[in-house]
Structure 1
Amino acid sequence: MIDAHRGHQGPYTVAAALLHHLVPGVLERSADLVAAHDVEIRAAAPGLRDRVPAVRDRPAAGLADDERILVPAPRRTLRLANGLCEFVRAAVPPGRVLAVGNAAEADPTDLELLAVLTRRIPPDVLAVQVWSGGPPAPPDTRTAGRLWAEVDRCTQEGFLHAVAELGALGLERTEPGSARWWDFAQRTATALGGLGRREEAGRLWEQVRRVSQDPAMHAASAYGLAMLDARNPDPATRDLGRARGWLNQAIAVSTLLPDPAERAFKLGFDRNGLALVEFREGRVDRALDLVDSALALAAELGERHPVHRMVLLANRAQLLAARGQGKEALEEYGAALALGVALPDHYLDRGNLLLKLGHAEEALADYEQAIRLGPPLPEAYYNRAEAGLVLGRVEQALADLAYVIELDPEYVDAYVNRAGVLAGLERDAEAREVVEAGLEVAPGNPYLLAVLGQVETAAGRFEAARAAFDQAIAGAPELAAAWGNRAVLRFEQGDAAGAVADLDRAIALAPAPDLHANRAVALRALGRVKAAEVDERLAGG
């Protein structure tokens, strides 16, 4: 039995024990299998790094501490868990049992991994047995130096729950306002913000302001407070005016920094933050000016801070794309990727732009590069499915969407797209199965209900179809497909006038040849021949 108490090793205590048991034997049988999961193994079991070389190394891993400015999003641990699951599934002989105790004290990384193992590996291959109880961990006597090493590693790997917990211990064991205390405060507040614990993060940033007179700390805390609003995913509680005020203060304080390189970096960082506020307030040109000024400052840094420059170039690309300058945006993405420190997200973003511009094959190549760069990334497979549909590779797209759902059962858009494609292929039984699974995750989702309405219509269950369409339209009045498909149902029920009314709404929302063709049929049924002829011309008939 593996003792899961996070006090023994912190994040991935269970995973590390399991990997130490499996990896040596797998290396003898199939070194390629280990190499294919190097990122996951090295992240979860650092004790194996001497035996598992970095094949898909994170490009910023060798940079100086002040140059590693990106913190992985919380979802990275789901990617790691899925990659570890696929390694374990391939490595263990069938019929094995994984027994885990002290689960109540496990780190969230292990709890997530156990959930993924249980969901994705059949019990006849690996039965996962979990108990909450177990012996207490020994007293925590780690020094501030030891805690800092663990906080630093957890920050770079994206183990944000551990950063928040260990960082709090580090703050208790260091003198407020000291250099090491500041290190803990900055990492801990950033992790809390990333976890959505904004009030706690705000209190810690405020504490920084109260214990220090260091301009660098004040600039950073002002920036941190601003980002709690600027990056707040809920527009209803996001205060961009307050964010602007904090960023103005950060910029003002950064101008006081005596070191020219530090001043150039910090001012560029802060201006990039202000660009986010400008963009969210709809001032794209002003945001672009700020990013350009940040890039000019970055030019003063020589070869230092490549990640900072990469972020600025990628942001400039996004702003140019928002302004409709697709070609120029692609050039900026190319410049960002050429720095060699890009993350999968930037290949996804460029792929999305390429797909929007009609370059599906090139988009596909970017999505596949994002897939190669690390553990399973649901968004990359979802986007590859969209490109595959454009290119007519329907079965591959369906397989990609099914894999997205396997990786992340809460990825609602994957259910919507997979169900819609299946319904379009008249594979109604499969479409219904996907819709029902999706509605368990997202009850009342209008897009899934619209597909359900199609399936019910095809089955002749008109009352159920009408109920599904009505509910979809009530939830998303802008959903043209629901109006258009309800029109088909109403026409089949003999309500040509109702069909025309629904098609009027659908065409107003999203004109399409098939909608005009359907409206022409309904108009002819009503004897409105001239209007029907207009629609037939618009339909290309």
Structure 2
Amino acid sequence: MPAVLERSAHLVAAYDIEIRAVAPELGDLVPARRMTVEADLTDDERILVPAPRRTLRLANGIAEFVRAAVPPGHTLAVCNGAQADPTDTELLDVLMRRIPASVLAITVYSGGPEPPPDSRDAGELWRIVDRSVREGFLDTVAELGERGLALSEPGGEPWWRFAQRTATALGGLGRQEEARAVWEQARRCSQDPAVHAASAYGLAMLDARHPDAAQRDLGRARAWINGAIAISTLLSEPAQRAFKLGFDRNGLALIELRQGHLGQALALVESAVELAGKLGERHPLHRMVLLANRAQLLAAMGRAKESLEDWAAAIAIDPMFPDYYVDRGNLLFKLGRHKEALADYESALRVGPPLPEAYYNRAELRIGQDDVDGALTDLDRVIDLDPSYVDAYINRAGLLATLERDDDARADATTGLALSPGNPHLLTVLGQLETAAGRFPEARQALDLAVDLAPRLASAWGNRGVLRYACGDLEGAITDLTRAVALAPQRDLYSNRAVALRALGRTAEAEEDDVRAAGFA
């Protein structure tokens, strides 16, 4: 590997984050070119935990580096494959999917020498857990964090550090009840107010952020966060109190937001921003998150100018944090400021590992600019990076159908429906394709289901209107197209309704629709 790095300096620079993440022992050979502000912060200031999808981004970056840097004809044998954790398995899957076997043939064996018993002490485990939290290796944190807890005195400072990281990782992995058990154990083992405040916050977020919206208990979350706020208010050290109280109020803002109380959520975040002003230069990530949250709330309330100001301030704190470029780009796109939106999406791609969302959003922007080839290129990239990205299949299938590449569109619709059964957008595309192929009963089945599942989806009504016209049901076609127009006035909907109206002899109404359609040119 050192030889590969030495002869591929430009690639090493392009994939420095990924290489340093998966092979920290190569750090001396891989200069850190894209560094976030977090690298220079103290332990208590590093509040961000990467989302589980970060490991997929890292794996894709490594695959691209190996594919470009390793000469063809190499073989990699992986022993003890059955013992690989989900992060390692994901990396192997991506490598095998994205690197041609002619470049690197990978064989995974379930057997191999038995690994020795883990004899690492709590200090060694902590160093790995701490690094794994920063890199987003949540499965590693969950596994080794539990070992660290078993080797530490319950309630002590080392034990609490393991507990906090382990519970957070478990929650991020969707292992809610295991995370809850760790937080509850912390409450039983400690009388430290800061521990109780943090545990109450952690329990509140398990309820407020549950991945299944139906299982979110916002009432219980509010009770827990109120407890956290009450404790934080009583903390004696001013800086700790300002930080913890602002952190907790930000958590309550999420609960208010999910209950539809935008004004209350904004007031809470603004109070947290005010408290953060008492921290001086400390806790920059805390300020960054608060500014970004306020930007999102302001945008939701239609206060775009103020939102953009907050996005700019948040990005200025850490220009190497990609997510906020995407968020600001989305707002700029909605405002019709496409050149600036494009610059933000490309900044997100430049400062971090491969990011499917940035390519997807850039594709949407290109669709709006009628750059079909560019949009397809970006959507191809999204699906290459993440074959489970359902929205990319939806958009690509729609574009391919527009280009009359029906077989390719059908393949995308079929793949997408396997990932998301009953998806109304994919059913709509499938219905459109079945109509074009003259398979009217199959088209009607798909479109009826799409309309039932998503009665406000204009394209479903519009395509069913086209189908009914093709079947000779002119009145039904006009009814469906009228519903589609009411939901989302578009040129093709008016044009199609004009055809149906004219076929019924309703010439004056058809001409009115022709005029409306021409207005979209």
Alignment of 1:15-94 (within 5 A): 22=1, 24-94=2-72
CA separation in 1, counterparts of 2:466 and 2:438?
Answer: 12
> Of 216, 219, 244, which aligns to 1:238?
216
CA displacement at 1:142 relative to structure 2: 1.2
Which segment is superposed worse, 330-339 or 445-454? 445-454
Q: Residue 9 of structure 1 corresponds to which residue in structure 2? A: none
Q: Distance in 1 between matches of 2:441 and 2:21?
A: 53
- 262, 275, 286: which one aligns with 1:284: 262
Residues 431-450 of structure 1: CA deviation (Å, up to 9, x unaligned): 22322332333333221221
Correspondent of 2:191 among 194, 210, 213:
213
Q: Which residue of 1 aligns with 2:308?
A: 330
Preserved CA contact (<8 Å) 1:229 1:242? yes
Report the counterpart of residue 298 of structure 2 in structure 1.
Answer: 320
Q: By how many angstroms is 1:68 displaced? A: 0.6
Alpha-carbon deviations, 1:152-176, whole Å to 9, x = none?
0011111111111111111111111
1:459 corresponds to: 437
Q: Which secondary structure does the structure 1 equivalent of 2:501 belong to?
A: helix
8 Å CA contact 1:306, 1:341 repeated in 2: no
CA distance in 2, matches of 1:342, 1:83: 17
Aligned counterpart, 2:178: 200
Whichever residue aligns with residue 34 of structure 1, its letter is: V
User: Which residue of structure 2 lines up, in the alignment, with residue 419 of structure 1?
Assistant: 397
Deviations 1:297-347 (A, max 9, x none): 000000111100000000000000000111111111011111126621100
Percent identity of paired positions between Structure 1 and Structure 2: 68
Separation in 2 of the partners of 1:538 and 1:516?
7
- Cα 1:130–1:440 shift into 2, 3 Å: same
Q: Which stretch shifts more, 94-103 or 295-304? A: 94-103
Q: Distance in 1 between matches of 2:256 and 2:213?
A: 15
Alignment of structure 1 residues 475-486 onto 2, 5 Å: 475-486=453-464
Task: Note if 1:507 corresponds to 2:485.
Answer: yes
Pick one of 474, 480, 487 that aligns with 1:496. Answer: 474
* Alignment partner, residue 391 of structure 1: 369
Give the Cα separation in 2 of the matches to 1:516 and 1:195: 47
Matched, 1:99 2:77: yes
In structure 2, stretches of 5+ residues that fail to align are none
**C-alpha RMSD over aligned residues:** 1.5
Which secondary structure does the structure 1 equivalent of 2:40 belong to? coil
**Residue of structure 1 equivalent to 2:90:** 112
| CA shift for structure 1 position 206 | 0.8
- 8 Å contact 2:35–2:320 — kept in the other structure? no
* 2: CA distance, partners of 1:441 / 1:92: 33
Matched, 1:303 2:281: yes
What stretches of structure 1 move > 4 A for 4+ residues in a row? none
Q: 2:261 and 2:44 mapped to 1: Cα distance?
A: 31
CA contact (8 A) 1:310 1:342 kept: no
User: Matched residues in 1 for 2:406 and 2:84: separation?
Assistant: 43
Letter in 2 for 1:521: V
Judge conservation of contact 1:364–1:388 (CA < 8 Å) in 2. no
Contact 1:26 1:33 in 2 (8 A): no
Aligned-residue offset at 1:480: 1.3
CA contact (8 A) 2:4 2:70 kept: no
Task: Give matches, 1:249-268, under 5 Å.
Answer: 249-268=227-246
TM-score normalised over the length of structure 1 = 0.93
Q: TM-score, normalised by structure 2?
A: 0.96
Structure 1 unmatched ranges of 5 or more: 1-21
Aligned amino acid, residue 219 of structure 2 = G
Give, in whole Å, the separation in 2 of the partners of 1:326 and 1:391.
Answer: 22
Partner secondary structure for residue 50 of structure 1: helix
Moved more, 520-529 or 268-277: 520-529
Q: CA deviation at 1:537?
A: 4.4
Range that drifts further, 442-451 or 244-253: 442-451
Count of residue pairs brought into register by the alignment: 519
- Separation of aligned partners in 2, 1:389 and 1:539: 20
Q: Deviations over 1:354-406 (max 9, x none)?
A: 00010111101000000011111100110111112222322111011011001
Quote the Cα distance in structure 2 between the aligned partners of 1:342 and 1:128: 33
| Distance across 1 between alignment mates of 2:177 and 2:434 | 47
Give the stretch that moved more between structures: 146-155 or 477-486: 477-486
Please say which of residues 510-519 and 316-325 is displaced more in the overlay: 510-519
Question: Mean alpha-carbon deviation: is it higher for 261-270 or for 26-35?
Answer: 26-35
Alpha-carbon distance between aligned partners in 2 of 1:535 and 1:479, rounded to the nearest angstrom: 21
Q: Is the 8 A contact 1:223 1:246 kept in 2?
A: yes
- Counterpart Cα distance in 2 of 1:198 and 1:26: 42
Distance 2:320 2:92 in 1: 30
Name the counterpart of 1:410. Answer: 388
Q: Secondary structure at the match of 2:28?
A: coil
Structure 1 residue 534, shift from structure 2 partner: 4.3
